[in-house]
Structure 1
């Protein structure tokens, strides 16, 4: 099985590292700076908050997909680009796939999958999520700061990937219906923007009552939208999604006592949106908090908190 990671940034490199260590032939399609950094540091180093540490060199790294001599199409392509970048790559994906290829879209948020779905009808289009935080660190090191394993839609390719990753000790979850998975993950992703706005590590941010209350209000809006749309949410925490706003709204002492799992994260972990703001890149806020606003309008549910968060992130994006 030949696998490509299209748009290998923080999450893509972490996924590539796990796949390489699981015995797969993996090619990175990445920026020249990423390739240079990986070569300079003799590979991708994976670490996590529980002490895992291992380095692996990807078999191939491609920086210009249109110029690369790809004689044999890839069997599986993981697309780990940002949401707003997905719609422009249909032709490139067609050129490097065959009739039985699986293309797995690993984006946060809602909307990007629909934007490219019709252009790739000849392939098996799947979705996946990364339910944990990855922070890029110096020396080509990619650090997993929270719990969770890669979660993919089920087919013959992902079943083989799951078996190999579990054998290696990484874990991998498969689901046939990804809608509750993705909508449930969006509930947790609503903190991405708030973490960027706080400019604090996630663990420290969640220790502040006012910040948790704002997250609780944003979550409540999404829960109200999902109820109006009759959408089921997958449960990622020990409590049901509907209970999360209540837990977050507890005073600090009670929250610390009852939310141990939520706080069992690396003290340095930050959201991907924080990383984008610091790197002066466009964020995915339109596909996360903005999706809450958009779907809320469709079902007549007011979402002022998420609308305000979108506006604040847009202001940060425009700063020099």
Structure 2
């Protein structure tokens, strides 16, 4: 399949590498010039579960996307705050047959995507894979994962299942979901706890998980997510969500991972996606008249940290 990865950071690099290794025609699109230059010069270098691999994958800047090519599938991995500008940049490679799969962290991205893509071609999902960047063009990929996806448009279920098959053939373990919004809220709870706390505490998930206060903090944050989700017809099983979060503390699986927000802010001094994770729960809490003090405070603390670190 001819696939474009729009947002070729850590997770985009994982998907590009695995899809290319499975024989797909992959193009990476990104906005970080040093990353682009490194991959053009040396290929995508990765520590892949302890094995050093190099895969030659074409990559272009989002300002230089070829308008004469069309793609069967575009997978969105850009940062949430950069989504609309990315879609504006790549609209020339989208036609009436292009399927667009959004795997961004956070909630509600389809509201932006449908400005560029008809609803029947929009697919949303969430992934439990992890990835990191050790520098421009160098990815660290470890552990196992899976992803779930679903069509937004009516009568697009077969297309969703075809996309899942292509991803699974690349060993990404993709599953069709009958209730993707539940899965997205569940993943958002993981991001809403681990991303902010690991960033503020400057620690990986195992270290944060070993603290005496972590379970109480997670319970209170998840309760806020669940209260907002309930207003939108999503009934979260809080015990199931907390079990998923606690499972991420295991150093023998993904516990040694630093979440993407930590990588962005602490490592690279980049602005974070907090407004699209805890921040969106705060905004929806105001809308529905639900107190969300923990999400409010986490959002404010991360923004304060961004200012202190002069993130851009």
Report if TM-score (shorter chain) is over 0.5. Answer: yes
Per-residue deviation at 1:88?
Answer: 2.5
Residue among 230, 247, 264 paired with 1:276: 264
The alignment status of 1:205 with 2:208, answered yes or no, reads: yes
Per-residue deviation at 1:160?
Answer: 3.8
The alignment status of 1:135 with 2:132, answered yes or no, reads: yes
1:311–1:243 distance in 2 versus 1, CA, 3 Å = same
Residue of structure 2 in register with 1:178 after alignment: 180
For structure 1, which segment, 142-151 or 108-117, has the greater mean C-alpha deviation from structure 2 after superposition? Answer: 142-151
Residue among 217, 241, 245 paired with 1:214: 217
- In the alignment, is the contact (CA less than 8 A) between 2:66 and 2:92 conserved in 1? no
Give unmatched runs, 5+ long, in structure 1.
Answer: 234-239, 249-258
Alpha-carbon distance in structure 1 between the residues aligned to 2:248 and 2:80: 29
Residue of structure 2 in register with 1:251 after alignment: none
Alpha-carbon distance in structure 2 between the residues aligned to 1:261 and 1:277: 21
Alpha-carbon distance in structure 2 between the residues aligned to 1:161 and 1:229: 27
Give unmatched runs, 5+ long, in structure 2.
Answer: 152-156
- In the alignment, is the contact (CA less than 8 A) between 2:147 and 2:174 conserved in 1? yes
Per-residue deviation at 1:212?
Answer: 3.4
Per-residue deviation at 1:246?
Answer: 8.7
Q: Secondary structure at the match of 2:114?
A: helix
Q: Secondary structure at the match of 2:173?
A: coil
Alpha-carbon distance in structure 1 between the residues aligned to 2:113 and 2:172: 30
Q: What count of residue pairs does the alignment treat as equivalent?
A: 300
Residue among 77, 83, 88 paired with 2:85: 88
- In the alignment, is the contact (CA less than 8 A) between 1:146 and 1:269 conserved in 2? no
Alpha-carbon distance in structure 2 between the residues aligned to 1:68 and 1:87: 15
Any idea what the Cα deviations from partners look like across 1:111-139, whole Å, max 9, x if unmatched? Answer: 33313323433871111222232111247
The alignment status of 1:74 with 2:77, answered yes or no, reads: no
Residue among 106, 121, 126 paired with 1:124: 121
1:93–1:124 distance in 2 versus 1, CA, 3 Å = farther
Q: Secondary structure at the match of 1:71?
A: coil
- In the alignment, is the contact (CA less than 8 A) between 1:17 and 1:46 conserved in 2? no
Q: Secondary structure at the match of 2:72?
A: strand
1:69–1:273 distance in 2 versus 1, CA, 3 Å = closer
CA RMSD in angstroms, aligned pairs only: 2.7
Per-residue deviation at 1:7?
Answer: 1.6
Alpha-carbon distance in structure 1 between the residues aligned to 2:298 and 2:215: 14
Residue of structure 1 in register with 2:56 after alignment: 57
Residue of structure 2 in register with 1:292 after alignment: 281
Residue of structure 2 in register with 1:309 after alignment: 298
Per-residue deviation at 1:93?
Answer: 3.3
